[in-house]
């Protein structure tokens, strides 16, 4: 059976198609209450489904928010997405989700799709890449988002700003103090751990990982400790497992009088989980044979043993605040200051069993 049309609704209600459209598509120009009720009853009796594109034209808004994340299966991004959804519900909007391969090229494709659908706002949660091979894609992403903002779109970005995108109305960023918090974690661990430190980081040039590594090394230096060895791998659970396997082989070959075990700092919690799994597979224990710490305090850690030392971030609130900031009236803020005003993300160092005695 063919779908009912707006013309059929108008005929049944005894009004013009333009009047029926104004009632059903949310135009500010609405007829009297009696006429509007007649149109709605006609639409209901015919099973008419309003055209979302027509509603968007009538309201000058699609009611959509586009959310771009690297990997929704990663609890870091799913927690932020939960906050985005909460803010969207508050503002009576719906969220469209796009996951990427973690590259600016993937983000550009998603941004273009959301812009074509006239999303009211786009929220991007994911690290910037400063790698030379991503230079062209960074430029394309910035150009796509600049067009979107200049055409009235609103953009909220978690963490680092989009490389090459100038400050403009509608563009807001919500910085995360990765470097500062990693520095605090290193200082706290150095106060109790006498052995060497190892950092398992993401690929060189991944900005979030680089910030955390830099902060951790600064914290060790401030405590008068030597710089940690840095191992680069994928910024994921599997990357952590691969690095953990490499470190387990070293630990197994250590002499009997090996001294204090190493303390391993993983650039995020899922990497730390992978490291612990790899050590266990080789018969090693945490914190007995190696202390391990992560970053983010993801929800998965509630059931993880040993309890993981980490840095807690308010991930749900980050998603909420970046969305509300993106949707805020751009004319109410200074376009030259694109940060989300009135919001400062803070975190907490949480030392737990995985580094106990370290």
Residue-wise pLDDT for 289-307, tens only, equals 999 999 999 999 999 999 9
Please tell me whether residue 78 adopts helix, strand or coil conformation. helix
Q: Which of the pair, 39 or 217, is modelled with greater confidence?
A: 217
CA dist 218 and 203 (Å) reads 19
- Average pLDDT, rounded, for the chain: 88
Residue in 85, 78, 60, 75 with CA at minimum distance from that of residue 323 = 85
The helix (run of H) or strand (run of E) holding residue 66 is: strand 64-69
| pLDDT tops 90 at residue 222 | yes
Pairing of strands 348-350, 310-312: antiparallel
**Domains assigned to the chain:** 6-59 (1.10.260), 64-176+316-327 (3.40.50.2300), 178-312+348-355 (3.40.50.2300)
Query: What percentage of the chain has pLDDT greater than the value 70?
Result: 85
CA dist 77 and 94 (Å) reads 18
CA dist 129 and 169 (Å) reads 24
């Amino acid at each position: 059976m063919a779908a009912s049309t707006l013309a059929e609704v108008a005929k049944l209600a005894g009004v013009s198609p333009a009047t029926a459209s104004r009632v059903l598509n949310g135009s500010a120009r609405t007829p009297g209450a009696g006429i509007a009720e007649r149109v709605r009853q006609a639409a209901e009796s015919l099973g008419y489904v309003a055209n979302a594109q027509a509603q968007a034209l009538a309201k000058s808004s699609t009611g959509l928010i586009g959310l771009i994340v690297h990997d929704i299966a990663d609890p870091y991004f799913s927690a932020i997405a939960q906050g985005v959804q909460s803010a969207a519900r508050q503002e009576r909007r719906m969220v469209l989700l796009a996951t990427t391969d973690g590259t600016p090229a993937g983000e550009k494709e998603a941004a273009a799709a959301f812009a074509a659908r006239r999303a009211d706002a786009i929220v991007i949660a994911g690290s910037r890449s400063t790698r030379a091979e991503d230079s062209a894609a960074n430029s394309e992403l910035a150009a796509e988002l600049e067009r979107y903002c200049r055409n009235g779109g609103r953009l909220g970005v978690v963490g680092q700003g989009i490389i090459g995108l100038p400050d403009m109305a509608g563009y807001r960023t919500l910085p995360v103090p990765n470097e500062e918090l990693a520095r605090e974690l290193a200082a706290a661990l150095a106060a109790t751990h006498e052995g060497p430190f190892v950092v398992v980081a993401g690929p060189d040039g991944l900005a979030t990982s680089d910030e955390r590594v830099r902060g951790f090394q600064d914290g060790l230096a401030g405590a008068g400790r030597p710089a940690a060895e840095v191992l680069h791998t994928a910024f994921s659970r599997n990357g952590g497992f691969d690095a953990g396997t490499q470190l387990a082989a070293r630990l197994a070959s250590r002499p009997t009088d090996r001294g204090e075990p190493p303390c391993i700092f993983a650039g995020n919690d899922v990497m730390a989980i992978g490291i612990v799994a790899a050590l266990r597979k080789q018969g090693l224990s945490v914190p007995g044979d190696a202390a391990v710490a992560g970053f983010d305090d993801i929800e998965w850690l509630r059931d993880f043993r040993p309890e993981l030392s980490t840095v807690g971030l308010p991930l749900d609130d980050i998603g909420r605040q970046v969305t509300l900031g993106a949707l805020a009236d751009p004319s109410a803020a200074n376009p030259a200051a694109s940060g989300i005003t009135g919001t400062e993300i803070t975190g907490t160092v949480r030392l737990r069993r995985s580094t106990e005695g370290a």
